[in-house]
Structure 1
Amino acid sequence: MYDEKCLTRIGGNIRFLRAACQISQQEMAERIGVSQTHLSNLEHNHVQISLKLLLRIANLLGCSLETLLDARKASDWVSSRCESDETRQEFYSPEEVQQLLKLLRLSKQ
């Protein structure tokens, strides 16, 4: 079951999945039709995201909407994508993404 708390995690899940797929903010923004600044604001939960934009992001990443809403599903999705040898070179491991996110958080302090 979902509650309103999942809405506050969407931005972080988008950032996590984007980083795992090694897509820059600028590239993703262009591909979903928004500015890089707007995508940054979405990822930091400064603005609300529309269902239409969620669909664009899910389609771009090749994941379900549920993956964008649930941090555990996002992590599982990244893990499953990184398991095959074919995609391993295209994605960071979940551990590498977690380290990157920690470094980003520390640099903001």
Structure 2
Amino acid sequence: MAVLAFLVLAADRCGVSYYSRGRIAVELDIDVVRVDRALDALLDVELIAHRPWRKSRRDGVWQVLPVPAPTPVSRSACIRSAGSILHDLGFGADQQNRGQ
């Protein structure tokens, strides 16, 4: 979480940051291995993108990506009558039999 927060704060208006992994580690007072793990995890869940300066290099340009908007859930699919809920809980059948 600290690495993501750092990239967000260090980014320009397009979400781009040019800090090296070593510099991120120094600024956050953590080791580079933890920075690498965090960056890999953020890449895996597509919260950041990375373009290395050269092939097979880990340092380069980091970009914080927008979080996709959640898919809206239909409220009507969640609405149930009290009678339906009570019936599912087993109250409907007993009550009807007692009244007869």
TM-score, length-normalised on structure 2?
Answer: 0.29
Between Structure 1 and Structure 2, the one with more helix by share is: 1
- Relative contact order (C-alpha < 8 Å, sep 6+): which is higher? 1
Higher strand fraction: Structure 1 or Structure 2?
Answer: 2
Q: Using structure 1 for the length normalisation, give the TM-score.
A: 0.27
Higher-Rg structure is 2
